[in-house]
């Protein structure tokens, strides 16, 4: 099996590293325009070769390029003989843009989203076993071939992931709430902190704000590409903040305690 990985940053690098452990994988080809990432990926042995184009004989093409570029790649590879999977955080804009240009998504294309990541970036930060026991959402399209979906699922299963199928709208709404919103809030929180207060941060602060160290470019892209769902999730959050603020201002203990208990109860389910 020959695997091509478009974009060998942290996630692409982690896919490469994990795929090394799969039986039958003979060659991993990286497509990476950033010279420093390309050199690192080669040096670390994540990829066997760096190419400027996806080889025609690749069995699997993993698109881990910046989100904005994914529709272009799907269109470019529409007739590729291998299976094409993206690993992006937002799905609706890809499918809409590809359909606008091609009328339908290609049969070889299976959108995927591994719920695994890190605030770090670059292939040097690619963890060795990022996908084991982590959820990978597979989003087969009506035009996706059954064989392509089967191979996509088999690939992630081989990396130890737990598979879950979802439709595009549910995905973008769910991820807005569970991932994009907390990132936006953590960024806003860190903007509100004074530099001189940083030294008084305890473990709660550190965990709460960890994701605010994530790449601004990556996350601005995600926020934009999932804007409507993110704004809806933000409205939902804002309602809860307003309710808590009102309870605090009016010293309404029963209301305040009920809100905190609801939150704590839900969090303890995790």
Per CB under 8 A, contacts with a second copy among 241-270 are: 241, 243-245, 248-249, 251, 253, 256-257, 259-264, 266-270
Question: d(Cα 164, Cα 144) in Å, to the nearest integer?
Answer: 16
Question: d(Cα 45, Cα 196) in Å, to the nearest integer?
Answer: 42
Alpha helix positions (H), 20-117: 35-43, 70-76, 92-102
- Taking the complex as a whole, the smallest distance from the CB of residue 36 to a second copy amounts, in Å, to 19
**Binding a second copy by CB under 8 A: which of 25, 50, 69, 237?**
237
Considering only residues 69-88, where is the footprint of a second copy by CB under 8 A?
none
Backbone phi, psi, residue 114, to 5°: -75, 125
Considering beta carbons, is residue 142 or 199 the nearer one to a second copy?
A: 199
- Taking the complex as a whole, the smallest distance from the CB of residue 266 to a second copy amounts, in Å, to 5
**Binding a second copy by CB under 8 A: which of 64, 116, 136, 149?**
116
Question: d(Cα 112, Cα 122) in Å, to the nearest integer?
Answer: 20
236 binds a second copy (CB under 8 A): yes
Number of residues that bind a second copy (CB under 8 A): 84
Considering only residues 149-188, where is the footprint of a second copy by CB under 8 A?
174-175, 177-179, 181-188
Considering beta carbons, is residue 2 or 208 the nearer one to a second copy?
A: 208
DSSP state letter for 126: -
Question: What residue has token string 């292939």?
Answer: 123
- Near a second copy by CB under 8 A, which window of 11-19, 36-44, 64-72, 130-138? 130-138
DSSP state letter for 260: H
- Taking the complex as a whole, the smallest distance from the CB of residue 178 to a second copy amounts, in Å, to 5
- Near a second copy by CB under 8 A, which window of 76-84, 143-151, 152-160, 212-220? 212-220
Considering only residues 35-64, where is the footprint of a second copy by CB under 8 A?
none
Q: What angle do CA 222, 190, 210 make, to 5 degrees?
A: 70
Considering beta carbons, is residue 99 or 120 the nearer one to a second copy?
A: 120
**Binding a second copy by CB under 8 A: which of 57, 128, 224, 246?**
224
Contact 174, 146 (CB under 8 A): no
- Taking the complex as a whole, the smallest distance from the CB of residue 55 to a second copy amounts, in Å, to 32
DSSP state letter for 161: P
Backbone phi, psi, residue 85, to 5°: -125, 135
Alpha helix positions (H), 3-162: 10-19, 35-43, 70-76, 92-102, 146-158
For the chain, helix, strand, coil in percent to 5 are 55, 10, 35
**Binding a second copy by CB under 8 A: which of 9, 82, 117, 140?**
117
Considering only residues 96-115, where is the footprint of a second copy by CB under 8 A?
115
Q: Sheet holding 112-114: strands in order across?
A: 112-114, 135-138, 162-165
Considering beta carbons, is residue 39 or 258 the nearer one to a second copy?
A: 258
């Amino acid at each position: 099996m020959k695997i091509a990985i478009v974009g060998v940053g942290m996630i692409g690098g982690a896919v490469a590293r994990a795929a090394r452990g799969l039986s039958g994988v003979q060659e991993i080809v990286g497509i990476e325009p950033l010279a420093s990432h390309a050199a690192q990926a080669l040096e670390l042995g994540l990829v066997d070769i760096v190419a400027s184009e996806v080889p025609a004989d690749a069995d699997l093409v993993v698109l881990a390029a910046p989100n904005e570029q994914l529709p272009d790649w799907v269109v470019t590879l529409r007739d590729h003989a291998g299976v094409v999977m993206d690993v992006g955080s937002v799905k609706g804009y890809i499918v809409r843009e590809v359909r606008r240009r091609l009328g339908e998504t290609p049969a070889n294309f299976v959108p995927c989203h591994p719920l695994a990541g890190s605030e770090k970036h670059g292939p040097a930060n690619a963890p060795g076993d990022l996908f084991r026991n982590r959820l990978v959402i597979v989003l087969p399209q009506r035009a996706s071939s059954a064989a392509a979906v089967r191979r996509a699922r088999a690939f992630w299963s081989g990396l130890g992931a737990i598979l879950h199928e979802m439709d595009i709208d549910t995905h973008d709404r769910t991820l807005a709430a569970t991932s994009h919103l907390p990132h936006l809030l953590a960024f806003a929180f860190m903007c509100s902190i004074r530099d001189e207060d940083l030294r008084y941060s305890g473990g709660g602060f550190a965990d709460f704000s960890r994701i605010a160290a994530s790449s601004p470019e990556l996350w601005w892209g995600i926020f934009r590409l999932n804007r409507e769902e993110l704004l809806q999730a933000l409205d939902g959050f804002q309602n809860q903040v307003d309710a808590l603020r009102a309870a605090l201002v009016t010293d309404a203990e029963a209301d305040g305690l009920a809100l905190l208990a609801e939150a704590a109860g839900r969090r303890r389910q995790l």
